[in-house]
A and B are shown apart, each in its own frame.
Chain A
Amino acid sequence: MTAPRDKLGRPVVVVTGMGIMTSLGNGKADNWAKLVAGESGIRTITRFPVDGLRTTMAGTVDFVSVDPFSSTGLSERMAELVTEEALAQAGIGAKADFPGPLFLAVAPVEVEWPQRRELGRAVGAQDFTYDDLLRISGGGKYNAYHHRFMFGSVAAHLAETFGTKGSPISLSTACASGATSIQLGVEAIRRGETDAALCVATDGTVNPEALVRFSLLSALSTQNDPPQAASRPFSKNRDGFVMAEGAGALVLESYEAAVARGAKILGVIAGCGELTDSFHRTRSSPDGKPIIGCMNKTLADAGMTPDQIDHINAHGTATPENDKMEYNTTSAVFGELVTKIPVTSNKSMVGHTISAAGAVEAIFSLLTLEHQRIPPTINYDTPDPTILFDVVGNKARDARVTAVMSNSFGFGGQNASLILTREPA
């Protein structure tokens, strides 16, 4: 095949294992089948009462049980399951002995309402202050909650279960977190610190307060009925994103190490790029320069030009602002090619898996390369006339795909892009 080094002389980083879970199901086979069939995983929330909420649907993962339930517990369990799938495919290392570090994208952790309510009931009075809660928190009765609600607890659990090496890194770059976890793994391999890295991203935070938080920022779709039609990327009548849960895991290896052990190569992480927008906490700079810069940095990192990209897996949240901004910035980078490159948003079907999205969509991009078939953007009935993307609307499309750009943009000015290819460039 090709040289084990890229155009910049760095080790080529390949993917040898993938695991995925979304509201569509568990595992690559199930997810891919439903994704190309245009199925939606968005449904009315049944996990908790939705009375009084403006948004009552989400892409929840209801088929994984966690007891006692917490969003962090669900995130951990999903991460564990997708990692098992990825490791089984990669066939790397030994059981509980992964030969490299862990980079985990995970939602910020906090004590949650079920536990807070348990504490409230334990006070045993009708009127009390926060000091009363504090007074009864100690003594060992709630020891497990300390561990559960440490920010590092999910990573520590995964590191111990799978025997990753060194200090596992838990990271958050908001909606770009999944892409950042991959980027950290790529960089560690390129620096020669390790031959392999485990990159995992997980988000199980569909809970009342999380929903309320995004609702108060007017970020969520309120097209509750039918829930499957709520997420409408690039449509004129899009009105926000749909919260969702999911997880993705990727085993990254240097091309050399993968070949040496005879591993099947599933794809290449050809380029990563990241650029901070300092304009506003939730809005992109109106000139789009940081996103344009991010895409250009990624192309440069991959040593590629826009004409070599033949599919874009868009961030495509279906918020009015994101999709418009994504189109404008992509146009600036791709010029007249922008109307010719097929674009899709997986979020039309699985919703926005927030911290996991970057990894989930990177995996879908790699599956697109494998199957040479682009999953559709569903609910694309009324195209936004100002967005001239070649949206793969409603039906999957067979296409020759050699390189995919996957974009992630998040609150706090976080922009990250990845370029995935079938073979080393």
Chain B
Amino acid sequence: MTDTAAKPGQTEVWITGIGLATSLGEGLDANWAALQEKRINVDEKGFAPFIVHPLMPVTFDSQIPKKGDQRQMEAWQRIGVYAAGLALDSAGIKGNKDILSKIDMVVAAGGGERDLNVDTGVLTAEAKGANAPGFLNERLMSDLRPTLFLAQLSNLLAGNIAIVNGLGGTSRTFMGEEVAGADAARIALSRIASGESDIALVGGSHNGERKDLMVLYEFGDFNLKNKFAPVWARKDHAGFALGSAGAFLVLESRAHAEARGAKPYAKLSSVVTDLARRKQSGDMEATLEKLWDKLPKREGKGAIISGATGAEPATSEERGFLKQHTDFPVRSTGTMFGHTMETQFPLGLALAALSISRGALFPPNDSTGTEIEMQGAPTQIVVVGAGHWRGEGMALVEAVS
């Protein structure tokens, strides 16, 4: 097991910036308000029978001023660059050349949108008999936009964030679906905690309004169809509804934050991840239990923010784990934001920090009794992220004492 628990002598790591652009809105206030009102933004028609949580439209110009930059990106990158910009704003370091020139970046990313017209064009021409040996080559040479590749490359989300905001530290892109988001936070945390880094930008972005992704997940029958239901109420109608979102955090050593007078939303105390074999029923639940035991002691007022997808059997395994910890009120980001894949874990971290800083957990939104009301201010929130197929992660976000 790999873990990043704060060790004696290691520096405390604060969350000093949060950037959110989601299906519920842009920025912390809009997202918080929607959560309070239990407002969910789903589109059951646009991709029917599939369901998506579409991005609440934003004015990209405010974070990506050059149209030329926007044109070089596909939606997933624009969403991410936008959310990353909001996080830098929130931390008060936007345009601060001293800090931005050394900030370290760990981004969790998938790949970018395909040109569906090109793909369909090739396949239908072949269905009509085009079978010359060089047919595919010629069509791709003539039909693909020369710069589309750059809008698809995983590490070009980080690249675009660096270009638009002038970042000049290190830049690492992790791939691997849900757990990539947890590992990104784990590595950034361990680098700061050990003194390798002072400040880092961590997060991811996802465009869920993509048929090419739906094909990929449909291969495994993972898409939620026909009717929306909260994640915990999908047992007999399993699946995830893809969501569009960008979620970024600024992580910073306490000393670095205090030296520049930055206020924390919360502290990130630990991130632990693992890879359950998932060969037998109970494997994943056991791994979540192991991760839970790895986290520092929880003695405060606790809660759990889960990134459960709604896909089976992972969601039932996670429900089994949650049943062992019913004293912790649970909230599901999957219900409220859809499944945002690599972004789900950073989104959970963002909402945990936001809840702690606002002195309340957002209300439950569930018909099964898995989510219960919480009175008073949470001081410790465990973020759980279990992948729909592989990968498990967990983090402890705490109030700064």
Interface, chain A (partner B; CB < 8 A): 49-54, 101, 106, 108-111, 113, 116-117, 119-121, 123, 125-131, 133-134, 137-140, 142-143, 145-147, 149-153, 155-156, 159-160, 165-174, 180, 184, 187, 191, 193-194, 208-209, 212-217, 274-282, 290, 293, 410-414
Contacts and interface: CB of A to CB of B under 8 A. Distances in A.
A281 B163 contact: yes
A321 to B, nearest CB: 16
A108 B173 CA distance: 10
A276 B168 contact: yes
B127 A108 contact: no
A151 B387 CA distance: 12
10 contacts: A51-B133, A53-B134, A110-B111, A117-B123, A120-B123, A138-B218, A143-B219, A151-B111, A152-B175, A152-B179
Given A151-B111, A170-B180, A412 B159 contact: yes
A209 B109 CA distance: 21
A240 to B, nearest CB: 15
B391 to A, nearest CB: 6
Contacts of A139: 221
Contact of A173 (B160, B171, B218, B389): B171
Contact of B196 (A50, A173, A187, A410): A187
B277 A116 contact: no
B155 A411 contact: yes
Nearest to A212: B140
B277 A160 contact: yes
B140 A209 contact: yes
B173 A173 contact: yes
A52 B138 CA distance: 5
Contacts of B393: 167
Contacts of A52: 134-135, 137-138, 141
Contacts of A138: 218-219, 221, 223
A264 to B, nearest CB: 27
Interface stretch (B21-29, B30-38, B144-152, B242-250): B144-152
Given A150-B177, A170-B175, 14 more contacts: A49-B137, A52-B141, A106-B175, A131-B211, A143-B219, A145-B216, A146-B219, A166-B273, A167-B182, A193-B2, A193-B190, A213-B149, A217-B147, A290-B168
Nearest to A215: B141
A108 B154 contact: yes
Interface string B211-236: 11011111111110000000000000
Interface in B164-196: 165-177, 179-180, 182-183, 186-187, 190-191, 194, 196
A151 B275 contact: no
Nearest to B279: A160
Contacts of A278: 162-163, 165-168
B2 A101 contact: yes
Contacts of B168: 275-278, 290, 293
B134 A51 contact: yes
Nearest to B166: A278
Contact of B215 (A133, A212, A411, A412): A133
B330 to A, nearest CB: 23
Contact of B128 (A126, A143, A172): A126
A142 B136 CA distance: 23
B116 interface: yes
A285 B375 CA distance: 54
Contact of B155 (A140, A213, A410): A410
Interface residues of B, number: 89
Contact of B2 (A127, A166, A281): A166
Nearest to B151: A281
A191 B190 contact: yes
Given A111-B215, A166-B2, A276 B167 contact: yes
A184 B187 contact: yes
Contacts of B59: none
Interface in B1-20: 1-4
A389 to B, nearest CB: 27
Contact of B391 (A131, A133, A165, A167): A167
Most A C-beta atoms less than 10 A away, residue of B146, B215, B218, B273: B215
Interface string B270-303: 0001110100000000000000000000000000
A349 B176 CA distance: 32
Would you list the 7 A-B pairs with minimal beta carbon distance, nearest first?
A51-B134, A412-B159, A166-B2, A152-B176, A146-B220, A120-B123, A49-B133
Contact of A169 (B177, B183, B194): B183
A130 to B, nearest CB: 5
Nearest to B128: A126
A221 to B, nearest CB: 16
B45 to A, nearest CB: 13
A169 B162 CA distance: 22
A280 B163 contact: yes
Contacts of B215: 111, 119, 133-134, 137
Nearest to A121: B127
Most A C-beta atoms less than 10 A away, residue of B147, B158, B176, B196: B176
Nearest to B215: A137
A413 B110 contact: no
B271 to A, nearest CB: 10
Nearest to B116: A130
B216 A171 contact: no
Interface in B85-139: 105, 109-111, 114, 116, 119-120, 123-124, 126-128, 132-138
Contact of B132 (A51, A142, A281): A51
B155 A167 contact: no
B157 to A, nearest CB: 9
Contacts of B40: none
A412 B146 contact: no
Nearest to B182: A167
B183 A191 contact: no
B153 A411 contact: yes
A127 B137 contact: no
A127 B120 CA distance: 9
A213 to B, nearest CB: 4
Given A134-B215, A193-B190, A167 B127 contact: no
A133 B123 CA distance: 10
Contacts of A133: 120, 123, 215
B50 to A, nearest CB: 8
B156 interface: yes
B171 A414 contact: yes
A186 to B, nearest CB: 11
A212 B155 contact: no
Contacts of B137: 49-53, 208, 212
Nearest to B69: A281
Most A C-beta atoms less than 10 A away, residue of B159, B163, B393: B159
Nearest to B129: A126
A167 B216 contact: no
Contacts of B138: 51-52
Contact of B217 (A146, A152, A215): A146
Most B C-beta atoms less than 10 A away, residue of A127, A150, A173, A410: A150
B144 to A, nearest CB: 6
